[in-house]
Amino acid sequence: MILQEQIIEEIKQIPNDKLVEIYDLIHCWRLGLTKEKHSRKLPIKQRPVGLSKGKFQVPASFFEPLPDNILDSFEGK
């Protein structure tokens, strides 16, 4: 049995509710391969450091603690 057939047989054994996760994994992996193939052809052009210096300032409120209801949602409460 060739490897593709073995993989297909394994996939047939996976419960339907888990197939979405498998599909997402395969799709993500294939996208990575596609990006690698294209990235080899295109040279990467680095942006200069400090390109937007002085154009944006992080407000002080950014560093304040988040409200409890938002923290709870991150923790699944």
Q: Please, which residues have CB within 8 angstroms of residue 36's CB and are 6 or more apart in sequence?
A: none
* pLDDT of the residue at 21: 86
Indicate whether 64 belongs to any domain: no
- Give the whole-angstrom CA distance, residue 39 versus residue 31: 12
Indicate whether 36 belongs to any domain: yes
> How does residue 2 score in pLDDT terms, banded at 50, 70 and 90?
very high
Indicate whether 23 belongs to any domain: yes
Per-residue pLDDT tens for 9-68?
Answer: 988 998 888 888 888 888 888 777 666 655 556 667 788 888 888 888 889 999 999 999
Residue whose token pair is 């339907």: 16
Indicate whether 47 belongs to any domain: no
What sign does the dihedral 65-69-73-75 (CA atoms) show? positive
- Give the whole-angstrom CA distance, residue 38 versus residue 29: 15
Domain count, the chain: 1
- Give the whole-angstrom CA distance, residue 27 versus residue 21: 10
